[in-house]
Chains A and B, each alone.
Chain A
Amino acid sequence: MIRFTNAFKAYPRGSLALKDASFHVGRGEFLFLTGHSGAGKSTVLKLIYAEEFPTSGEVRVAGTMTSELRRRDVPRLRRRLGVVFQDFRLLEDRSAEANVAFALEVTGARRGTIAPRVMRVLAQVGLAAKAPAYPRELSGGEQQRVAIARALVNDPHVLLADEPTGNLDERAARGVFQLLRDINANGTAVVMATHNLELVRQAPYRVLELQDGAIVYDSAVDQPGRGAIVT
């Protein structure tokens, strides 16, 4: 599904953000990316959704080498991924429903199919009743659920989550994490970057730890009992 092979990423005038990373995320797998701020977690996610490209080495997503993508092919790749962030990134002047629908509209989905699909994912994240609410009328946990619904509405193969619980209180964080687990249980691979070691300990998923851009621990290799490499 996702394969990094000796991937390096250097930013102009910066140090190496990612050093010689090689790992593979299989179909339906749940992977935690952990490490301190600046360890390279977000860089890994950006390399997956083709916001950044490796300076050397290879990043393959669903069989496509990202560095070979033409600019106009990037949107097509992103439609097969779902991405959520710590700061939700919702459009403030649109209702929850419109935020989710937007992700379908930009792909040119037929209008008649949009409303039922939006309601289905909002129901999946437990927010069907709040469809007409604007982001400012929702709690942090609810806003993150809208963002997850938006990420899910295109039926992605992989859901990328960059610190999805970072702005949430403990209860909301648990709720959002449970939602991600449910999504994974339905067959969608999830790659979740997080600081929250409590959540990491709670679940038996594979953990990839980064430090200064290098992978220093991969539970699938170092602690084979934890998480499974699904190929």
Chain B
Amino acid sequence: MSLTIRETLLAFRRAPLLSVLSMTTIAFALFVVGLFGLVALNLRTALADIEERVEIVAYLIRGTPVEIGTMAMGDIQAFPEVASVQYVSEDDALERARRQLAEFQGIFQDLETNPLPASLEVRLKPGFRNEDHVRQVADRLRGFRFVEDIRYGREWIAKLDRLRDIGAAVGLAIGVAFALASVIIIGTTIRMGVLHRSREIAIMRLVGATDGFIRRPFLLEGAVKGAIGGAAAVGLNYAAYLAVDRTLFDSVFFSRAEAGLIVLFGTALGLLASAQSLRRHLARV
């Protein structure tokens, strides 16, 4: 094993420019993959924030006793899709309106009777915050006799669904495309390495080196280049994240595990590309 490591280091030392060039290319290819990952991650976080606000409001018929409303809460809470139910009394609704619409303070002061109905505010569990589930729950709520009207942003929820699907598809397609590009780039640099060292490989063969022995340093080289490229890509992504976070808007970065996954992905790509390239070109040297 130590011999393999020595030969790998020699390969880096012998062609430093080629090594730096290939690692830079890998880094940029993975940087782009990572960038789309970051966009997807931030989109998902942003959508999750919006989704949390998905709620169904059931307005109660005027005069419905508070006890009926609170009793219904128990039933609604038992729906499998429902995360929470909140009873907002007529007084609470007015209080909230006063607080939120401070500019109309005067109007609220002059009211003789409270025009706002009591309501039940229903929030759904994650995974159920899409158009179909929202509609189903709304239909069930409509079944309560004391419910006068149901409100939820139907079109808005449908658009959110579409946005999420498009985001996932585009992210996946571009990610796969750039991952393939990385494989080709790494394969090409390894191939250049094989050709660059064809004389040495021929000498190795001549003195009785096995194919496995010849292959090992190249595989390690590919894996190391992939890992370094992956780490550099994480660094570049972090720089991009900082730039956006500080100048444009609050955003989130990969977790440690996700960043580790990018490095691991780079390593796997490097290994895969080397193995593929070696299989095709070693026989010709």
Are A72 and B210 touching (Cβ within 8 A)? yes
Are A106 and B208 touching (Cβ within 8 A)? yes
Are B210 and A102 touching (Cβ within 8 A)? no
Q: Is B3 interfacial (CB-CB < 8 Å)?
A: yes
A72-B204 Cα distance, complex, nearest whole Å: 14
> A36: which B residues are within 8 A, CB to CB?
none
Select the residue from B200, B205, B209 with max chain A CB neighbours within 10 A: B209
A76 with B211, Cβ < 8 A, contacts A91-B200, A91-B203, A93-B14 known: no
Partner of A89, one of B14, B206, B208, B209: B206
How far does the Cβ of B218 sit from chain A's closest Cβ, in whole Å? 15
How far does the Cβ of B96 sit from chain A's closest Cβ, in whole Å? 78
How far does the Cβ of B206 sit from chain A's closest Cβ, in whole Å? 6
Q: Is the interface of B mostly helix, strand, loop or mixed?
A: helix
Q: Is A206 interfacial (CB-CB < 8 Å)?
A: no
Are A150 and B10 touching (Cβ within 8 A)? no
How far does the Cβ of B14 sit from chain A's closest Cβ, in whole Å? 6
Are A83 and B211 touching (Cβ within 8 A)? no
A8-B114 Cα distance, complex, nearest whole Å: 109
- Interface residue range, chain B: 10 to 19
Interface 0/1 of B1-34, CB less than 8 Å to A? 0010000001000100000000000000000000
Closest to B204 in A: A106
How far does the Cβ of B197 sit from chain A's closest Cβ, in whole Å? 10
Interface residues of A in 43-95 (CB under 8 A from B): 49, 71-72, 75-79, 83, 89-91, 93
Interface 0/1 of A80-117, CB less than 8 Å to B? 00010000011101000000001101110000000000
> A79: which B residues are within 8 A, CB to CB?
207-208
> B200: which A residues are within 8 A, CB to CB?
91
A154 with B208, Cβ < 8 A, contacts A89-B203, A91-B203, A93-B14 known: yes
Are B209 and A75 touching (Cβ within 8 A)? yes
Select the residue from A49, A89, A106, A107 with max chain B CB neighbours within 10 A: A106
Q: Is B213 interfacial (CB-CB < 8 Å)?
A: yes
Are A93 and B10 touching (Cβ within 8 A)? yes
> A106: which B residues are within 8 A, CB to CB?
204, 207-210, 213
Partner of B206, one of A71, A78, A93: A78
Are B205 and A78 touching (Cβ within 8 A)? yes
> A105: which B residues are within 8 A, CB to CB?
3
Closest to A82 in B: B207
Are A150 and B207 touching (Cβ within 8 A)? yes
A150-B203 Cα distance, complex, nearest whole Å: 11
> B10: which A residues are within 8 A, CB to CB?
93
- Interface residue range, chain A: 20 to 34
How far does the Cβ of A77 sit from chain B's closest Cβ, in whole Å? 8
Closest to B214 in A: A106
Are B203 and A75 touching (Cβ within 8 A)? no
Interface 0/1 of B168-198, CB less than 8 Å to A? 0000000000000000000000000000000
Are A103 and B207 touching (Cβ within 8 A)? yes
> A107: which B residues are within 8 A, CB to CB?
207-209
> B209: which A residues are within 8 A, CB to CB?
75, 106-107
A77-B14 Cα distance, complex, nearest whole Å: 30
How far does the Cβ of B135 sit from chain A's closest Cβ, in whole Å? 66
Interface residues of B in 40-80 (CB under 8 A from A): none
A60-B14 Cα distance, complex, nearest whole Å: 39
A107-B213 Cα distance, complex, nearest whole Å: 9
Are A78 and B210 touching (Cβ within 8 A)? no
A78-B205 Cα distance, complex, nearest whole Å: 8
A79-B203 Cα distance, complex, nearest whole Å: 12
Partner of A71, one of B203, B207, B211: B211
Select the residue from A77, A90, A105 with max chain B CB neighbours within 10 A: A105
> A78: which B residues are within 8 A, CB to CB?
205-208
Closest to A108 in B: B213
15 residue pairs bridging A and B, Cβ less than 8 Å apart: A75-B210, A77-B208, A78-B208, A79-B207, A79-B208, A89-B202, A89-B203, A91-B200, A102-B207, A106-B204, A106-B208, A106-B210, A107-B208, A107-B209, A154-B207
B residues near A, CB below 8 A?
3, 10, 14, 199-200, 202-211, 213
Q: List 3 A-B pairs, minimum CB-CB distance, nearest first.
A: A79-B208, A106-B209, A78-B208
